[in-house]
Homo-oligomer: A and B are copies of this chain.
Amino acid sequence: MIIVMKNDAPGGEIEQICEEMRDRGLTPEKIIGAHKVVIGLVGDTQELDPDHVQDVSPWIEQVIRVEKPYKRVSREFRHGQVSEVVVATPQGDVTFGQGHNIVVVAGPCSVEDEAMIIATAKQVKAAGASFLRGGAYKPRTSPYAFQGHGESALGLLAAARQASGLGIITEVMDAADLDKVAEVADVVQIGARNMHNFSLLKRVGAQDKPVLLKRGMSATIEEWLMAAEYILAAGNPNVILCERGIRTFDRQYARNTLDLSAVPVLQSLTHLPIMVDPSHGTGWAPYVPAMAKAAIAAGTDALMIEVHPNPSKALSDGPQSLTPDQFMALMQELAVVGNAMERWPQLATVS
């Protein structure tokens, strides 16, 4: 349930309403928009009569029940207003959200060694990326496949962060590693295979770093939003949703089916920022540029693209990685579409 306040409702009045709601056993969350303040109510609101809530104050404009099973992540909960996720990086704040430029995250699937990760970081930064991705802990289908360098790779990411000024996005697979990961990462990633790992969702919800939540490979949009709801319900409002391809009946040419319609669908359902990962989404480097451009045109807020100095020798996911040169060329192409969508930094077109 949400309480929409009238324009210019006095702060004291809003506080008093919140207090009243707390007395009724509910948790109020104040959302300050451009013109209005909305109070989201979490808790057992099923028995609550919206008319009775309306009577609490003459400054209340409207009381609306959120009909969706997800509450805090729903767009209704913010009365239609989008949210932003602001991430502090060595070079300053980067903002993910609908009114902002598209944020580009790039880097290798796995952190392999120091030279490789630092060189790649510098190259993707030069091409216009704001974040470096790179796996320290890797979810692999086979127990005999390379599982990531783990803790030592976190150190290399920290070094790359310092060397390049990029923010770091890396995956956590095990709650036991969360503190170590969160120490290095500017954004903590939950991978597709853990989207339904509710224990882990609660843990990342109970820490402060923003969370990148990848869609499970056969998760419905609603299940995905419910997974995000776990994180918000645990106290962390900074979640970015990443579409990375779903599993369908056809896997012959593209490894997954990148569900770009998730972009407009999510925009209609949630206020959270959206990222698209065309590298995992297609699984094949030659298809990445077309889908990256399409993602921008569809309205994504961010892109995640795999870049590896030598894809044919990558320890994981080589076939879907671009070389740094290919990435540089792609960024030029993306700038054209990004500019058409008015969501690309102006300098990019000059370079």
Chain A residues close to B by CB (< 8 Å): 69-71, 139-144, 173-176, 193-194, 196-199, 202, 217-218, 220-223, 226, 229-230, 233-234, 246-254, 257-261, 263-265, 267-269, 281-282, 286-287, 289-291, 293-299, 336-337, 339-341
Contact = CB atoms under 8 A, between A and B. Distances in A.
A119 to B, nearest CB: 29
Contact of A290 (B257, B291, B299): B299
Given A226-B141, A233-B143, A173 B193 contact: no
Nearest to A228: B143
B261 A287 contact: yes
Contact of A337 (B174, B199, B260, B340): B340
A188 to B, nearest CB: 15
A92 to B, nearest CB: 29
Contacts of A197: 173, 193-194, 197
A254 B265 contact: yes
A289 B267 CA distance: 13
Contacts of A297: 290, 293-294, 296-298, 337
Nearest to A291: B261
A200 to B, nearest CB: 8
Nearest to A71: B144
B257 A261 contact: yes
A198 B337 contact: no
A249 B218 contact: yes
Given A199-B173, A221-B253, A229-B143, A261 B281 contact: yes
A230 B140 CA distance: 10
A141 to B, nearest CB: 5
Contacts of A70: 142
Contacts of A233: 143-144
23 contacts: A69-B141, A69-B142, A139-B198, A143-B233, A144-B233, A220-B250, A220-B252, A221-B250, A248-B249, A248-B257, A248-B259, A254-B261, A261-B281, A261-B291, A263-B290, A263-B294, A264-B282, A264-B291, A290-B298, A294-B297, A336-B340, A337-B337, A340-B340
Nearest to A219: B250
Contacts of A234: 143
Give the interface centre of A281, A290, A297 by most chain B CB atoms within 10 Å: A297
Nearest to A290: B264
Contacts of A173: 197-199
A136 to B, nearest CB: 13
Contact of A286 (B230, B264, B289): B264
A291 B260 contact: yes
A114 B340 CA distance: 39
Nearest to A70: B142
Nearest to A191: B196
A21 B224 CA distance: 48
A269 B254 CA distance: 12
A-B CB proximity, top 3 nearest: A218-B218, A193-B196, A297-B297
Given A258-B261, A294-B297, A340-B337, A143 B226 contact: yes
Contacts of A202: 143
A257 B254 contact: no
Contacts of A290: 261, 263-264, 267, 297-299
